């Protein structure tokens, strides 16, 4: 009682506070040293169990044993009662957070507050390690006062947006007054830039769990250990996500290697409107680990109108590098400091390297296209038809011209192909002549986005003019076997799929970021596991 009265006064008077009741004296000393060195505390991975019955919840608790702790959502279990709580708690093998979120706080529990308090109090009696209580709910004070051996997390969720840093700091201070063991602040990211508000909020706080929900908030979950959130929440598997944007346990541990991320980790990401569809994370992340470099590769889902602010945040948080994809390869140039000679000539960049605050753009697409095609064909002197005149086409045309190909460009919007052809001094024709052009050329390369997921059954050509002897390359890699590739194979053509280009260009990117050549075979092996 005396301590409870004094704690707010201690907190008010102190510069830092450290939660040590769960630690040995040695661990507590380590925490204090880390805090004084301004290093974030080690983040623990928490798998969320949201089964609707006890049997499934028990199965899930077993599956979740490889996480550091589990959050059991009582509100998901149909007709939850004290005997069900007892059965669940009897089988607990690791640390557990008990949560019973009512409807008005975004959960599924429809009973009274009295019933909810009875369930949570029972969980406390049965040895719940943590209880999550909502900031603003009637029963939070009562739980905090009667927490016994459990710890109380007081949580605040914003299901609409991420408010300003000032507003969130004020929420944090109000929750801290209630004297919880941990404060949890979860917001919704409507833009990638919202994540940076949370990263700022985490600064200097060692008892805070914070991240953004939503697909745009994915990086706040992955990078939780870099910025010091006490917990990183994940789902048990893809189908069991309890919140949008949640990453599953397998990905958290074995793709992003969350346990290896720390304050010093170099962040690389793919900047694109649909960055979440990128395959490159499957190549780079395992090879960072294999090559023992402290890097992580994440999706930066950035819409066109968010790019400028995003690049300011990229600089502010000193991210190490990026891959750049649709629709930013050209627009991003004005937001960086320098271009290497090749990217300058191509007029597009797909790779950024941040060298002590100076961001330089490179282009590895041209390299990827040339090496992928060389696996199947001689380039020099061959007649090549390039379909498309977007960012990737620029790199392909540059690379093939440098290798001595005889090029003709066509594009849905004729004017764009004509402009590109004039710029690179290669041939141009109208799209209406595509049938004749397919017959005349030895190699046909699709650089348009037609056939790309989710429109896998589209093709820029109808295939009737293809025949054995032609080589058909499609740079679309999701799916690898595009409709165009499938048609070309049927006609007996040699084919080059987009994953080959992707792997070659990724090898170059890896080298630019880490100064290490990961080896084509190792990158290919990881890619093949995921296509
Ligand atoms: P982009 O700059 O947006 O260009 C898109 C191109 O596709 C333009 O030429 C556009 O023609 C054409 N196009 C779009 N919809 C069309 C339709 N319905 N019919 C005919 N043409 C259409 O995109 P990008 O950066 O060049 O990327 C294009 C594709 O290449 C994407 O699928 C991307 O994933 C892939 N890519 C693969 C690699 C790899 O390593 N394998 C590397 C880079 C890119 P208009 O000019 O008429 O709009």
In total, the chain counts a number of residues equal to: 531
- Which 3-state string (H, E, C) describes 456-481? CCCCCCCCCCCCECEEEEECCCCCCC
Ligand 1 probe mutation, 331, 333, 412, 413, most atoms within 8 A of CB: 412
Q: How far is the CA of 72 from the centre of ligand 1 (A)?
A: 45
Task: Please report the pLDDT score of residue 246 as a whole number.
Answer: 73
91-136 residue pLDDT tens: 999 999 999 999 999 999 999 999 999 999 999 999 999 999 999 9
Task: Please report the pLDDT score of residue 96 as a whole number.
Answer: 98
Contacts of residue 436, defined as CB under 8 A and 6 or more positions apart, other chains included, come to none
Give the position, in ligand 1's atom list, of the atom nearest the Cα of 504.
Answer: 40
**Spans in the chain with pLDDT lower than 50:** none
DSSP state of 400: H
Contact status, residue 170 vs residue 201, Cβ threshold 8 Å: no
Phi/psi at 5 (5° precision): -70, -35
Task: Please report the pLDDT score of residue 285 as a whole number.
Answer: 98
Contacts of residue 125, defined as CB under 8 A and 6 or more positions apart, other chains included, come to 148
d(CA 195, CA 234): 17
β-strand partners of 98: 72, 131
d(CA 237, CA 16): 37
Which tokens go with 460? 């820029």
| Alpha carbon nearest to ligand 1 atom 6, residue | 448
Ligand 1 probe mutation, 388, 397, 418, 498, most atoms within 8 A of CB: 388
Give the position, in ligand 1's atom list, of the atom nearest the Cα of 448.
Answer: 7
Contact status, residue 260 vs residue 294, Cβ threshold 8 Å: yes
CA distances from 512 to 8, 320, 506, 518 (A): 50, 11, 10, 11
Query: Which residues does ligand 1 sit against, CB inside 6 Å?
Result: 326-327, 329, 365, 368, 388-393, 411-413, 416, 447-450, 452, 460, 475-477, 498, 501-502, 505
Task: Please report the pLDDT score of residue 14 as a whole number.
Answer: 62
Q: How far is the CA of 256 from the centre of ligand 1 (A)?
A: 29
| Alpha carbon nearest to ligand 1 atom 13, residue | 448
Catalytic residue numbers read 329
DSSP state of 255: I
Contacts of residue 485, defined as CB under 8 A and 6 or more positions apart, other chains included, come to 472, 474, 495, 497
Contact status, residue 418 vs residue 446, Cβ threshold 8 Å: no
Contact status, residue 419 vs residue 394, Cβ threshold 8 Å: no
Task: Please report the pLDDT score of residue 434 as a whole number.
Answer: 97
d(CA 100, CA 121): 11
Give the position, in ligand 1's atom list, of the atom nearest the Cα of 389.
Answer: 9
DSSP state of 67: S
Which tokens go with 409? 């460009």
Contact status, residue 319 vs residue 267, Cβ threshold 8 Å: yes
Cis peptide before 454 (omega within 30 of 0): yes
Which tokens go with 474? 């499609």
Q: What is the pTM of this model?
A: 0.89
Task: Please report the pLDDT score of residue 26 as a whole number.
Answer: 63
Q: How far is the CA of 448 from the centre of ligand 1 (A)?
A: 3
Q: How far is the CA of 487 from the centre of ligand 1 (A)?
A: 19
Q: How far is the CA of 418 from the centre of ligand 1 (A)?
A: 16
Three-class SS state of 515: coil
Which tokens go with 390? 């977007």
């Amino acid at each position: 009682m005396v301590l409870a009265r004094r704690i707010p006064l201690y907190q008010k008077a102190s510069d830092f506070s450290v939660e040590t009741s769960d630690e040995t004296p040695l661990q507590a000393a380590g925490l204090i040293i880390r805090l004084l060195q301004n290093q974030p505390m080690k983040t623990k991975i928490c798998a969320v169990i949201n089964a609707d019955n006890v049997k499934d919840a028990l199965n899930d608790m077993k599956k979740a044993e490889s996480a550091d702790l589990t959050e059991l959502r009582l509100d998901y279990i149909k007709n939850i009662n004290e005997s069900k709580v007892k059965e669940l708690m009897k089988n607990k093998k690791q640390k557990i957070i008990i949560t019973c979120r009512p409807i008005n706080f975004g959960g599924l529990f429809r009973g009274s507050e009295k019933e909810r308090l009875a369930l949570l109090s029972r969980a406390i009696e049965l040895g719940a390690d943590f209880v999550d209580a909502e900031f603003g709910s009637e029963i939070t004070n009562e739980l905090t006062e009667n927490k016994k051996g459990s710890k109380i997390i007081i949580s605040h969720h914003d299901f609409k947006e991420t408010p300003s840093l000032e507003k969130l700091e004020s929420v944090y201070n109000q929750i801290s007054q209630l004297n919880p063991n941990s404060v949890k602040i979860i917001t919704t990211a409507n833009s990638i830039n919202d994540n940076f508000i949370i990263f700022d909020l985490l600064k200097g706080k060692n008892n805070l769990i914070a991240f953004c929900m939503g697909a745009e908030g994915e990086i706040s979950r992955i990078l939780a250990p870099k910025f010091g959130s006490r917990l990183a929440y994940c789902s048990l598997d893809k189908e069991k996500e309890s919140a949008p944007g949640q990453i599953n346990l397998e990905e958290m541990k074995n793709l992003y290697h969350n346990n290896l991320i720390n304050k010093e980790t170099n962040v690389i990401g793919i900047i694109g409107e649909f960055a979440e569809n990128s395959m490159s994370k499957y190549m780079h992340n395992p090879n960072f680990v294999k090559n023992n470099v402290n890097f992580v590769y994440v999706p930066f889902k950035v819409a066109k109108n968010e790019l400028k602010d995003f690049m300011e945040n990229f600089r502010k948080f000193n991210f190490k590098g990026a891959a750049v994809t649709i629709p930013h390869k050209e627009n991003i140039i004005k937001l960086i400091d320098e271009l290497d000679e090749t990217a300058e000539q191509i007029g597009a960049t797909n790779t950024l390297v941040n060298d002590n605050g100076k961001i330089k753009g490179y282009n590895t697409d041209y390299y990827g296209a040339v090496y992928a095609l060389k696996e199947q064909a001689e380039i020099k002197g061959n007649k090549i038809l390039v379909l498309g005149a977007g960012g990737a086409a620029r790199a392909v045309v540059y690379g093939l011209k440098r290798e001595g190909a005889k090029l003709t460009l066509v594009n849905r919007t004729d004017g764009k192909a004509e402009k590109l052809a004039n710029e690179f001094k290669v041939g141009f024709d109208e799209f209406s002549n595509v049938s004749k052009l397919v017959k005349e050329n030895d190699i046909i390369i699709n650089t348009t986005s037609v056939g790309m997921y989710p429109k896998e059954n589209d093709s820029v050509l109808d295939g009737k003019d293809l025949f054995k002897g032609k080589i058909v390359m499609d740079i679309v890699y999701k799916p690898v076997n595009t409709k165009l590739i499938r048609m070309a194979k049927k006609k007996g053509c040699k084919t080059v799929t987009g994953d080959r280009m992707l792997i070659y260009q990724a090898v170059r990117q890896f080298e630019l970021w880490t100064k290490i050549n990961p080896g084509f075979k190792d990158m290919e092996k990881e890619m093949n596991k995921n296509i």
